[in-house]
């Protein structure tokens, strides 16, 4: 067997290539994994992101062994949205057997670029973001898993929990990309009003880098927000350490969308179970590689959320956690 290792740089975006083709009797499946911001080292079974650890662990359990019967090309835009279109062109041109991608923005670009290559996505509500017409039958070449069960259920619950822990909160900022706020701004302020708070978007522009987050937090301060919601965008997760650091500096109570935030000091997390969604995405990949039509595979909706409280962070903010929240939490970090 001959082995070749190489690295391709695509318009500044980094891709780990198709490497080490194994000589074997069965088919070798070629998969492209595309992310808007995480380092490529995170897009692996050994990476720091729970979802990708679960995805690749389950694929291996299903019999897909990287560099043997599964060759993976990994691409990251490294937070630079202007690179998305070029990455999409390069991926489609390489003609993989399947594309796995993250975020509504990337899904929309791939949907426009190919109707032939199956796409499995990790995304926010695919109906609200106009990606598919039906959860049960997505149609076309797209299926995937969601990180929410719909905007109303998710954001109402997060706002409610934030208000219960910090009753004095009256004005909340929502940290998200500009594109996300365009979707949220009609619905989420109405939900906030029901809970007795006002809300405004603290938007992060492109390229999504540290300077943009610092600018957004300056807006949060100027807008006199006394609470923060952090959107589940991939870009936010990639920059989670900086976001938590900026919250600490501002003494701002915040609720976050993924477990990874709580693990490094985030106050509260109301998070989708990314392990189960990672396993489900792997099952979808398996179905498609065995011949299933992606458009006939239902999107996997969230069925379980994890509620995590970091008592150490609450104490540092001068907050007393109500006993009923401690009881309701799936995990309490002390």
Q: What pLDDT, in 10s, does the model give residues 243-270? A: 999 999 999 999 999 888 999 999 999 9
User: Is 109 a member of any domain?
Assistant: yes
User: Is 102 a member of any domain?
Assistant: yes
User: Is 140 a member of any domain?
Assistant: yes
- Shared domain for 310 and 287, answered yes or no, is no
User: Is 267 a member of any domain?
Assistant: yes
User: Is 1 a member of any domain?
Assistant: no
- Shared domain for 278 and 268, answered yes or no, is no
- Shared domain for 183 and 212, answered yes or no, is yes
Q: Which two tokens stand for residue 271?
A: 């998070």
- Shared domain for 140 and 196, answered yes or no, is no
pLDDT, tens digit (0-9, with 9 covering 90-100), for 149-198: 666 778 889 999 999 999 999 999 999 988 889 888 888 999 999 999 99
Beta bridge partners of 177: 204
- Shared domain for 96 and 35, answered yes or no, is yes
- Shared domain for 216 and 328, answered yes or no, is yes
Of 120, 76, 85, 111, the C-alpha closest to 235 is 76
- Shared domain for 247 and 180, answered yes or no, is yes
Is the Cα torsion angle 114, 118, 124, 129 positive or negative in sign?
positive
- Shared domain for 175 and 259, answered yes or no, is yes
User: Is 33 a member of any domain?
Assistant: yes
Would you say 225 and 200 are in contact if contact means Cβ atoms under 8 Å apart?
yes
Spell out a b/e string for 4-22, using b for 16 or more CB atoms within 10 Å of the CB, else e.
eeeeeeeeebbbbbbeeee
pLDDT at 186: 83
* pLDDT class of 48 with cuts at 50, 70, 90: confident
Mean pLDDT of 103-121: 95
SS3 (DSSP) at 5: coil
* pLDDT class of 9 with cuts at 50, 70, 90: very low
Cα gap 156→174, rounded to integer Å? 13
User: Is 3 a member of any domain?
Assistant: no
Looking at 88-92, 235-239, 264-268, 319-323, which range is the least confident one? 235-239
User: Is 2 a member of any domain?
Assistant: no
HSE, CB side, 13 Å, CA atoms: give it for residue 23.
3
Of 124, 102, 145, the C-alpha closest to 278 is 145
CA distances from 145 to 116, 149, 150, 311 (A): 20, 10, 13, 31
pLDDT at 150: 66
- Shared domain for 249 and 282, answered yes or no, is no
Per cent of the chain over pLDDT 90 is 71
- Shared domain for 99 and 26, answered yes or no, is yes
Mean pLDDT of 218-237: 93
CATH number, domain with residue 203: 3.40.50.2300
- Shared domain for 267 and 317, answered yes or no, is yes
Tally of domains within the chain:
2
| Residue 37 belongs to domain spanning | 8-147+273-296
* pLDDT class of 301 with cuts at 50, 70, 90: confident
- Shared domain for 210 and 104, answered yes or no, is no
pLDDT at 11: 37
SS3 (DSSP) at 232: coil
Alpha helices in the chain (DSSP H): 50-61, 84-94, 104-113, 151-165, 178-184, 188-195, 210-222, 234-238, 240-250, 259-263, 274-289, 311-316, 323-328
Whether residue 2 has pLDDT greater than 70: no
Is 0.75 surpassed by the pTM of this model?
A: yes
Whether residue 213 has pLDDT greater than 90: yes
pLDDT at 232: 86
pLDDT at 4: 28
């Amino acid at each position: 067997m001959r082995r070749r290792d190489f690295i391709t740089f695509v318009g500044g975006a980094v891709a780990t290539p198709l490497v080490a083709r194994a000589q074997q009797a069965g088919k070798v499946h070629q998969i492209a994994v595309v992310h808007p911001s995480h380092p490529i080292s995170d897009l692996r079974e050994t990476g720091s992101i729970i979802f990708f650890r679960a995805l690749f662990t389950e694929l291996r359990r299903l019999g897909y062994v990287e560099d043997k019967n599964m060759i993976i090309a990994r691409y990251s835009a490294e937070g630079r949205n202007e690179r998305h279109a070029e990455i999409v062109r390069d991926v489609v041109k390489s003609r993989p057997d399947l594309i796995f991608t993250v975020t509504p923005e990337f899904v929309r670009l791939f949907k426009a670029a190919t109707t032939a290559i199956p796409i499995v996505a990790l995304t926010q509500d695919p109906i609200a973001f106009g990606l598919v017409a039906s959860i049960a039958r997505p149609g076309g070449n797209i299926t995937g898993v969601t990180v929410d069960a719909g905007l109303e259920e998710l954001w109402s619950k997060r706002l409610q929990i934030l208000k219960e822990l910090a009753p004095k909160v009256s004005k909340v900022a929502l940290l998200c990309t500009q594109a996300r706020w365009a979707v949220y701004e009609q619905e989420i302020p109405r939900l906030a009003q029901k809970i007795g708070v006002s809300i405004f978007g603290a938007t992060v522009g492109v390229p999504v880098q540290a300077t943009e987050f610092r600018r957004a937090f300056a807006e949060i301060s100027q807008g006199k927000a006394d609470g923060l919601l952090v959107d589940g965008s991939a870009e936010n997760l990639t920059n989670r350490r900086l976001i938590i650091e900026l919250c600490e500096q501002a003494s701002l109570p915040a609720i976050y969308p993924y477990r990874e935030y709580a693990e490094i000091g985030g106050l509260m997390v109301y998070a989708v179970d990314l392990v189960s969604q990672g396993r489900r995405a792997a099952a979808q990949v398996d179905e498609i590689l065995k011949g299933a039509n992606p458009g006939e595979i239902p999107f996997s909706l969230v069925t379980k959320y994890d509620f995590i409280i970091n008592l150490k962070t609450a104490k540092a903010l001068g907050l007393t956690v109500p006993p009923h929240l401690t009881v309701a939490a799936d995990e309490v970090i002390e």
